[in-house]
């Protein structure tokens, strides 16, 4: 018997709608090759939590970026196997675009935990 996380998070936790944009290595756009072209966005039901682990925040700041808003995202539905670190996210009721900086993705368990940070405008 294998553990499956689908349906594990119930409505007691505050859920949000996350829109994920993934990027391909490139595609022809109007006859020209363009690197990192965005794919069609997909929506997911997610749970958001603030990053509270001091080690995780320190790890993020080692990259030399100023971190003003970091969050942990648990994806509750959709094709979690296609979620990658190159994705960007937007969430309903939260302004801004978030880039993915860390992914724990276990498609066989329908589990995806991400750490995202808000991109500076």
| Per-position pLDDT tens, the chain of length 121 | 444 555 555 544 567 899 999 887 777 878 888 877 788 899 998 988 888 766 666 665 556 666 678 889 999 887 788 888 889 999 988 899 999 888 998 888 888 999 998 887 6
Q: What is the pLDDT of residue 62?
A: 59
Helix (H) and strand (E) counts in the chain: 1, 8
Q: What is the pLDDT of residue 97?
A: 92
Q: Which pLDDT value is given to residue 16?
A: 87
Residue 23 pLDDT: 83
pLDDT at site 57: 62
Scored b (16 or more CB within 10 A) or e, 60-93 reads: beeeeeeeeebbbbbbbebebeebeeebbbbbee
Q: What pLDDT, on a 0 to 100 scale, did the predictor assign at position 102? A: 87
Predicted model pTM: 0.74
Q: Could you tell me which CATH number the domain at 15-118 has?
A: 2.40.10
Cα–chain-centroid distance for residue 60?
15
CA distances to 19, 43, 97 from 92, in Å: 8, 10, 11
Write down the pLDDT at residue 108. Answer: 82
């Amino acid at each position: 018997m294998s553990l499956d996380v689908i349906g594990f998070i119930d409505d007691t936790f505050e859920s949000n709608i996350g829109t994920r944009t993934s990027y391909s290595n490139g595609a022809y756009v109007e006859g020209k090759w363009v690197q990192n072209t965005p794919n069609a966005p997909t929506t997911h039901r997610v749970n958001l939590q603030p990053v509270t682990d001091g080690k995780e925040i320190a790890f993020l700041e080692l990259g030399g970026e100023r971190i003003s808003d970091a969050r942990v995202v648990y994806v509750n539905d959709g094709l979690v196997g296609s979620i990658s670190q190159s994705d960007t996210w937007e969430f309903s009721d939260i302004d801004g675009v978030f880039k993915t900086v860390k992914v724990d993705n276990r498609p066989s368990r329908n589990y995806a935990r991400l750490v995202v940070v808000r991109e500076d405008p």
